[in-house]
A and B are shown apart, each in its own frame.
Chain A
């Protein structure tokens, strides 16, 4: 390689030094708007807190009451279990949907169409009253009475989980399609089998696209669990409603339930943030892997 010719830097024009004071731009309209928002919020809060008919003392009594806490635990369990079913089955349906086999892909399409196309409430009731259609459920040689098998809990899990799987399959499918096909090809060329390509290369990257809408789905599921009120599974909402139908303290118990839903969704949002950060690895140009940045700070070469 030849050494670069030394070019002369052109002499800088000698302007007189600018001595004027620099004024930054003000945004008076923005500040006025912010003040209005603050006033409205403050007014609203004093209104709500000052209004005795909200019965804040009753809210306080019930917020950490035993049955409410039990309801919260069951809501959390139901949300987690239904999402687990939804995600697991959703991945399977998404993979089937992308299968080159037309029977598998149309079966997967039909599943999505059916479960997204009917109201969740109808599905829950259907599972609950399954015993009316099939008094006994047999599998292989064994059979059980449907009434024993379909408890409010199993009906709730089937209803929420199978419905969720239909939505999750669409989310997973778009995530899979977002991974450049060249990477799957390179993985096959190295000798990975289709299942390994999926597990090791495609799904981990699809996660980046899958996680944010799945966070939405989870928070949505948290609230959809309230629908199981109609089949009598006593989670948070059913517990609150059982109490106020007895005591007629409807508003404060609705507030208790709402506060819990708000608190749980706040925690879920924080969790989502950390999961997104994990699966974003390799995709931000700014964030170097931890080892590389530590090495760079020390000024050493990574051997």
Chain B
């Protein structure tokens, strides 16, 4: 599948001048970003720089105060109403979320459901699809993430790496247009990181549009089309990984990279 095959020139995701404060603390100070269909973008930056907050705004898990975000032609948080914009109600927010996959640092699998049931839950409850169809798709997805022999295990019986791959399959089951990853490998033992990154790499190769917050510079270098380096609520530097990671122009980027590589 090619990124430009559908001929659409419109970016999958766009953000202009996004601001967000918690109380008096401004955490996002005017973020601009653009992600084309099929593109993989990695978000790097020190802890506390606002990466998670930005990602959660895309998915309506947080509200932002100023600026605009667009996902696939829909304005985040609003819908057109005549010639005006109307704020989304709870039901509409849920519908928007269902088209965006999200993978969390802590997996957040439903502990009372098996791997298969975790993957089936969204399509069954949110989309009310037929069980037999959903089950076939869920088994295929678990097979794709290498867990065909683990479908009937509960999360407590799976390693962290396996849980994270179930979480990816759960997000994919909703057939999203955009996948958001918030440090998907940060909570994993080093020997389990590779399996999860391999699944993400495959997904990128299959043409999924992805925004990935990560500290895995190797992944960013090899898989990302572009990387954004954030610090203190602003984008300090962005561009192809070869430029930003190998020849950073900004002093803050250089300092961060030397710390991560050390």
A contacts, CB < 8 Å to B: 180, 182-183, 185-194, 196, 200-201, 204-205, 279, 281-285, 288-289, 291-292, 295, 301-303
Contact = CB atoms under 8 A, between A and B. Distances in A.
B175 to A, nearest CB: 11
Interface of B: 59, 61, 90-91, 94-95, 97-102, 104, 106, 108-114, 121-122, 125-127, 139, 148-149, 151-157, 167, 170-171, 174
Contact of A186 (B108, B127, B153, B156): B108
A292 B115 CA distance: 11
A183 B94 contact: no
Contact of A189 (B59, B110, B113, B155): B59
Contacts of B127: 191
A292 B95 CA distance: 34
Contacts, number: 104
Looking at A194, A196, A289, which has the most chain B CB atoms within 10 Å of its CB? Answer: A289
Contacts of A301: 148-149
Nearest to A194: B90
A180 B107 CA distance: 12
Contacts of B94: 188, 191-193
A182 B112 CA distance: 14
Contacts of A191: 94-95, 97-99, 122, 126-127, 174
15 contacts: A183-B109, A185-B61, A185-B104, A187-B121, A188-B94, A190-B170, A191-B94, A192-B94, A192-B125, A193-B94, A205-B111, A281-B112, A282-B114, A284-B156, A303-B148
Nearest to B90: A193
A288 B110 contact: no
Contact of B157 (A189, A288, A302): A288
Given A190-B170, A191-B126, 15 more contacts: A185-B104, A187-B110, A187-B121, A190-B121, A190-B126, A190-B171, A191-B95, A192-B126, A194-B90, A201-B110, A279-B112, A282-B156, A283-B154, A302-B152, A303-B139
Contacts of B102: 186, 189
Nearest to A300: B149
Contacts of B90: 193-194
The 7 closest A-B pairs by CB, nearest first: A191-B98, A292-B152, A186-B108, A190-B122, A182-B108, A282-B154, A189-B102
Contact of B154 (A189, A281, A303): A281
A143 B167 CA distance: 56
A197 to B, nearest CB: 9
Given A189-B59, A191-B97, A191-B122, A282 B108 contact: no
